[in-house]
Amino acid sequence: MEIDMLIACVEARRAIWDASSKDHSNRHIIKKLWAEIGTILDIPRVFGQSKQKTVKDVPGPKPALPIFGTTWLFTLRYNIGKLHEAYAGTVFRQGEKWQELRSVLTPELTSAKTMLQFLPELHQVTEDFTSLLRGLRDGGNTIHNFDLLANKISLEISDSGQFTGICVLVLGRRLGFLDKDLGTLASRLARAVKEHFIASRDTYYGLPLWKLYQTDAYKRIVQSEEEYYDIISELVEVAMTEEMETCAMDGIQSVFTSILRAPGLDVREKKAGIIDFIAAGIQGLSNSLMFLLYFLAKHPDSQQRLFEEVQNMYQITGDSLKEAQYLHACVKESYRLLPAAIAIARTLETDMELSGHNIPAGTSVVCHTWLACKDETNFSRPEEFYPERWLPGSDRKSTQNSQFLVIPYGCGRRMCPGKRFVDQELHLILAKIVQEFEVKFDGEMGLQFEFFLAPGGPVNFTFIDRH
């Protein structure tokens, strides 16, 4: 299988950073190096260890993620009992322990049957969300700072790995984050998680002075982590004491109860797993929703075609979602142009040959899928939002392997365990919003990098009633 993709090889820590740049993803630098050097780029280490501890190669049963920035220090501090047990979860674990946690904590999250059981409850959540949108519009039908509302619906329904679910999915209950008058807890939690990602980005891309003393960015990481740990831990404790009363539907309870009853794990490991499933989901799901709405707002013909497909889907079911080809195409095209995660990283245990280059064991390999998705070698007119390219018979895909480029949840065994849920929820929310409203956006949406791609600046959408 041949795909034109940039593979960046890093011994210990990325050396490319620009302190003056607001775009910390450095995609302009990476793209320039790709054009000048080729698809295999060797980035030497700076201020790092000579080798990272590796666990397993990319296709193996226990694939390792590179531990960059302050994460290795968090892991160390957890191991000596000086930091919250949040970092004992699946995100920062490696090897045998990672495999144990993943196999015990995630089966319900990856089950297609479980996701179908959630549809009725998620349908009600989306109904409440569209009602909230209708009530919060100003006189011009505009909602200012829509990102705050997107965070609320992520809190009410979502999960992680890179994304997944909090209340309905993980805790088996709704906590009222979509209540018009209830926003303090939701705002605190969303703000803490966002700050954690930004501070992690700042330590990752800046000079690593945090290794010598506690820099401002390092302090922000610790403070924000403690904030969202305390909030989520409290929610988990309440849900644990009310386990049998959380939700009437067995399917809704299944994820939470499966974690609580997981054999061989202590309470803090179970709690850590739940926190992992919550934190990244707030950013990932909400950002993906905003990007989707933005593309449709800027492409009214695509929005109209989508409306014609979903307008008669009064009760959205698993079967109706499967049959909505254009809905799937819109979501996939948005993932291609603006994925929440712009690259995939793994650490090699064994030597590997890529495009004629020998990559030694111990190398951190970063596959820049976002750049590959915008390369003319892989897609015709790659900068255009054109959902039709994903419909049968389209000639807009330059490679038959294009489906392997659009992987916003990662791939392989370390793929986001909440992939099914987030993908299903994005389709459901988008269908419901387009049924109810014509969506408009004035101007262009900026971008900023917070380890996930995120909208930059105010996000103001206009929602005009269709009926």
- Is 131 domain-assigned? yes
Q: Is 169 within a domain?
A: yes
Query: Could you count the other beta carbons within 10 Å of the beta carbon of residue 77?
Result: 15
Whether residue 416 is annotated as binding a ligand: the answer is yes
pLDDT digits (tens, 9 = 90+) for 106-122: 666 666 776 777 777 77
Question: Rounded to an integer, what distance in angstroms lies between the CA atom of residue 349 and that of residue 95?
Answer: 11
Tens digit of each residue's pLDDT (9 = 90 or more) over 129-182:
888 899 889 999 999 989 877 866 655 544 332 223 344 544 544 544 445 444
Most confident of 79-88, 202-211, 240-249, 309-318: 309-318
pLDDT score of 303 more than 90: yes
Digit-coded pLDDT (tens) for 370-399: 888 888 888 889 999 999 999 988 777 666
In a domain, 134, yes or no: yes
Q: Is the pLDDT of residue 277 over 60?
A: yes
Structure tokens that stand for 149 in this block: 């509302």
Query: Quick check: is 382 in a domain?
Result: yes
Query: What is the rounded distance in angstroms from the CA atom of residue 146 to the CA atom of residue 140?
Result: 15
- Could you tell me the pLDDT band of residue 322, with boundaries at 50, 70 and 90? confident
User: Containing domain of residue 413, as a range?
Assistant: 6-465
**What is the pLDDT, as a whole number, of residue 39?**
67
Our CA angle for 48, 96, 218, nearest 5°, is: 35
Residue 186: both structure tokens together: 């939701």
C-alpha distances out from residue 168 to 35, 153, 177, 238, 259, Å: 46, 11, 11, 14, 14
- The per-residue pLDDT for range 442-458, each reduced to its tens digit, is 999 998 887 788 898 88
CATH number at 286 reads 1.10.630.10
Query: What is the distance between the alpha carbons of residues 435 and 349, in angstroms, rounded to a whole number?
Result: 50
Position 445 in a domain: yes
Residue 404 has pLDDT above 80, yes or no: no
Mean pLDDT score, 92-101? 61
- Give which of 166, 197, 254 is closest to 450, Cα–Cα: 197
467, two tokens: 């009926």
Cα separation, 286 vs 438, whole angstroms:
19
Does the residue 343 lie in any domain? yes
As for how many domains the chain has, the answer is 1
Supply the DSSP string of 103-128, one letter for each residue. Answer: HHHSTTTT-HHHHHHHHHHHHHHHHH
Cα–Cα distance measured from residue 42 to residue 222, given in angstroms and rounded to the nearest whole number:
32
Tokens of 439: 């969506």
Q: What is the dihedral angle through the alpha carbons of 89, 93, 95, 100, rounded to the nearest 10 degrees?
A: 0
**Closest residue by Cα to residue 147 from 56, 9, 282, 1:** 282
- For residues 138 and 223, the answer to whether their CB atoms sit within 8 Å is no
**Spatial separation of the C-alpha atoms in residues 125 and 424, rounded to whole Å:** 13
Question: 264 or 360: whose pLDDT is higher?
Answer: 360
Q: Which amino acid is at 75?
A: T
**Phi/psi-derived region of residue 47, left when phi > 0, alpha when psi is between -120 and 50, beta in every other case:** left
> Residue 366, by phi and psi: left (phi above 0), alpha (psi -120 to 50) or beta?
beta
Which residue type sits at 352? M
Average pLDDT over residues 330-340: 94
Residue range 255-261: mean pLDDT, rounded: 67
Task: Please report the pLDDT score of residue 291 as a whole number.
Answer: 96
Q: Which residue has the higher pLDDT, 433 or 54?
A: 433
- Look-up: residue for tokens 């260890």? 49
Coil vs helix vs strand at 437: strand
Specify which residues 64 forms β-bridges with: 347
Residue 1 lies in a domain: no
